[in-house]
Structure 1
Amino acid sequence: MDLHLAGRTAVVTGGSKGIGLATVRLLLAEGARVVAASRRETPELKETGATHVAVDLSTADGARQLADTALAELGGVDVLVNNVGIGDTEDLARGSLHNLLELSDDAWRHTFDLHFYSALWVSRALLPSLAERGGTVVNVSSVAARLVGGGPADYAVSKAALSALTKVIAEQFGGQGVRAVTVSPGPVSTGVFTDPDGFIATLARQQGVTLEEFTQQMLTGFQVTTGRVSTPEEVARLIAFAASPNNITGTEFIIDGGLVKTV
């Protein structure tokens, strides 16, 4: 299926691994020119041939640097994928294990800077170009935004804010030809789930079970209909579709194997 992305330009944040890396690869395969942003360039990202910008997007300066570099490199931006997120295992564990009385303001600020403000800052910097070219913003949120009791509270609330930002962009800039779409994954086989020192492995050790046992317990407990986690490539295909020319805006696509049961 031709997604009509050939010759278009794209910026993908958090592009060095996981969903971001899979999205970079797919957009390139569809013929797009891609700038990928992350703190470090992984060997896997380097192999793609995408232009890498090393920035810390949890800061406004990092977002401005990315926008300036991307515009200079690409001449203009057709697609922005705000995917950067997760952060360190310690951050996620802290948000899962502490309640509102225990989780510090600094922890909340750090989480919002990474998951919400990064997208706000980069979007604001690139919206003039996106409006000029009738572009698309895809915000990668999470089903955690709908299930705030099932994971790190600060992460879930920041993702809920990100989903709301999609609506704001769609409403305020739709008249200028800009579309905005949210893609919300459930569990995905990224390092969060697969790394022996990752977030899920950390929780598994705390429960005294193996990573595989804990993952299965979690999928069963959440009643994931398909009984498995999604792959980064599956999520990337949904992101690429959302970014392709269509008349979809201001809405959310969920890819979670049937975890969310509500209408």
Structure 2
Amino acid sequence: MDLRLNGRVAIVTGASKGIGLAVVRTLLDEGARVVAVSRKSGADLDALAGPNLVHVPADLMDPAAPAAVVERAVEVFGGLDVLVNNAGGPPPGAVLPRFGFLPLTDDDWRAMYEFNLFAVVRTVRAALPHLLKSDAASIVNVSSGNARHPAPMNFDYNSAKAALNNLAKGLSEEFAPQGVRVNTVSPGPVRTAWWTEEGGAADVLAGATGADRDAVMDSVAPEMMSLSTGRLALPQEVADVVALLASPRSASTTGADFAVDSGFLKEL
């Protein structure tokens, strides 16, 4: 299927690895021009180098960074059609999962909201004047199934993602009539560095359950989370949905939340 993204300009945050990297690769394959945003690049992102890809190093927790990113995208490619707010998860220095409510400090809450909500608010604010000039504008926010599945863990992360979902609905109501669609993709557990890197979620759960880290990813975590498919999702499976929502092929889809979660979310 031709997603009709050839020549379109997209910003993708959290672009150096995992879901963001898969989104960048997919959009490039569809002929889009991509501004990839991350604190630093990486070998996998560098391997995609070409005339349609620009990496902008930025820390989105810096309030000035989102506007600078958007300005750079417009400077290089002359406009903006797609914004993928993928950066999120544990802010620097935090490791998820975190169990219980009482151990969380005000600083924990502030950092989590800064990264998962306020950075998105600022990026959208900076991007909208340019997106409103596009004839097929799209914003795709990458949220989490945990936004709709409260649990006695990751309180700060879960509530920040719930706020992100609410934000997307409101933005869609205001701006879809003006030609900017806003949708959400909510992954469940995805086999990314968040799980696989040393000290990541697999190691945290291994310590809590007594299983080894590979068993956690292959069987323990899917069983704990009642994943219908029996496995963690892959980054490309999320990226495919993001690309479809970014595409003019989804011209009548806005204000929606798509679960790509291996059957994690059981609620209607």
Instruction: Give the TM-score category using the shorter length.
Output: over 0.9
> Do structure 1's residue 85 and structure 2's residue 80 form an aligned pair?
no
Using the alignment, how far apart are the partners of 1:76 and 1:13 within structure 2? 17
State the 1:59 CA deviation. 2.0
The SS at the match of 1:136 is strand
Code of the aligned partner of 2:107: D
| Matched residue, 2:26 | 26
The SS at the match of 2:94 is helix
Using the alignment, how far apart are the partners of 1:252 and 1:4 within structure 2? 22
State the 1:136 CA deviation. 0.4
* Contiguous gaps of at least 5 residues in structure 2: none
Picking from 222, 228, 238, the partner of 1:225 is: 228
| Matched residue, 1:164 | 166
Cα deviation per residue 1:81-137 (whole Å; 9 max; x = unaligned)? Answer: 0000123585233x61241x3311111110011011111100000101111104100
Cα contact 1:14–1:83 (8 A) shared by 2: yes
| Matched residue, 1:57 | 60
| Matched residue, 1:234 | 237
| Matched residue, 1:247 | 252
Cα contact 2:9–2:82 (8 A) shared by 1: yes
Cα contact 2:99–2:152 (8 A) shared by 1: no
| Matched residue, 2:114 | 113
Using the alignment, how far apart are the partners of 1:151 and 1:81 within structure 2? 27
Using the alignment, how far apart are the partners of 2:230 and 2:33 within structure 1? 36
> Do structure 1's residue 71 and structure 2's residue 74 form an aligned pair?
yes
Picking from 176, 180, 183, the partner of 1:181 is: 183
Using the alignment, how far apart are the partners of 1:223 and 1:107 within structure 2? 28
Code of the aligned partner of 1:250: G
State the 1:250 CA deviation. 0.5
| Matched residue, 2:199 | 197
Code of the aligned partner of 1:24: V
| Matched residue, 2:262 | 257
The SS at the match of 1:200 is helix
Code of the aligned partner of 2:31: G
Using the alignment, how far apart are the partners of 2:152 and 2:224 within structure 1? 10
Cα contact 1:225–1:257 (8 A) shared by 2: yes
The SS at the match of 2:47 is helix
Code of the aligned partner of 1:217: V
Change beyond 3 A, Cα 1:31–1:140: same
State the 1:146 CA deviation. 1.1
Using the alignment, how far apart are the partners of 2:202 and 2:146 within structure 1? 15
TM-score normalised to the size of structure 2?
Answer: 0.93
Picking from 135, 139, 145, the partner of 2:141 is: 139
Code of the aligned partner of 2:164: L
State the 1:151 CA deviation. 4.1
The count of residues paired between Structure 1 and Structure 2 equals 261
Higher helix share: 1
Give structure 1 regions of 4+ aligned residues with deviation exceeding 2 angstroms.
87-90, 205-208, 212-215
Identity of aligned residues (%): 41
Using the alignment, how far apart are the partners of 1:213 and 1:41 within structure 2? 30
Change beyond 3 A, Cα 1:150–1:31: farther
| Matched residue, 1:155 | 157
Pairwise CA RMSD of aligned residues? 1.5
The SS at the match of 2:36 is strand
Cα deviation per residue 1:139-177 (whole Å; 9 max; x = unaligned)? Answer: 000001011206411111111111111111111111210
The SS at the match of 1:91 is coil
Cα contact 2:6–2:32 (8 A) shared by 1: yes
State the 1:37 CA deviation. 0.5
| Matched residue, 2:15 | 15
Structure 1 window deviating more from structure 2 (245-254 vs 62-71): it is 62-71
Using the alignment, how far apart are the partners of 2:232 and 2:203 within structure 1? 15
| Matched residue, 1:211 | 213
* Contiguous gaps of at least 5 residues in structure 1: none
The SS at the match of 2:140 is strand
TM-score normalised to the size of structure 1?
Answer: 0.95
Change beyond 3 A, Cα 1:206–1:157: same
